[in-house]
Amino acid sequence: MTAVPAPGLPEQPRRPVTWREALDRLEAHADRAEQLIRGHAAPDEPPWAPPTDLGPIPDEFVPRARQLLARQQRLMAAIPALLSDKHHQRRVADRVADATSTPAHPVYLDITA
């Protein structure tokens, strides 16, 4: 029997059963982050959770894990500049909107009050 999440609650991710699966999922999340940074919509995925019950990472997966760590560090380093740029774009758009729009005026005045 499969557990069904309550309506409105996020789906809990299925725990990875191997280190290969855990790294595959982490790589998919990095792919999604890169798509978002490039401005492309990415499919929603359940949140990644680090494995706690797989034991130490096997030596054969250490190089891949190091590459993923470096990739994540590059993605994290890109976020502040991206947010700053978005904030700047919003400030400029707000100034343009303020300069080009006319203030709203009431359509009629209720003089019976």
Instruction: Write out pLDDT tens, residues 45-72.
Output: 777 777 788 889 999 999 999 999 999 9
* 23 in Cβ contact with 40 (< 8 Å): no
Q: pLDDT tier at 81 (50, 70, 90 boundaries)?
A: confident
Residue 98's Cβ-side half-sphere holds a number of Cα atoms within 13 Å equal to: 6
Residue 78's Cβ-side half-sphere holds a number of Cα atoms within 13 Å equal to: 13
pTM of the entire structure? 0.58
Q: What was the pLDDT predicted at 29?
A: 86
Higher pLDDT, 111 or 1: 111
Cα separations in angstroms, 8 against 2, 45, 66, 79: 18, 15, 36, 29
Weakest mean pLDDT among 7-11, 44-48, 72-76, 86-90: 7-11
- Provide mean pLDDT across the span 80-109: 71
Angle at the Cα of 100 from the Cα atoms of 98 and 104, rounded to 5 degrees: 70
Q: The tokens 């190091």 sit on which residue?
A: 66
Q: Is the pLDDT of residue 3 over 50?
A: no
* 5 in Cβ contact with 12 (< 8 Å): yes
Q: What was the pLDDT predicted at 110?
A: 73
CA-CA distance, 19 to 7, in Å (whole number)? 31
* 9 in Cβ contact with 46 (< 8 Å): no
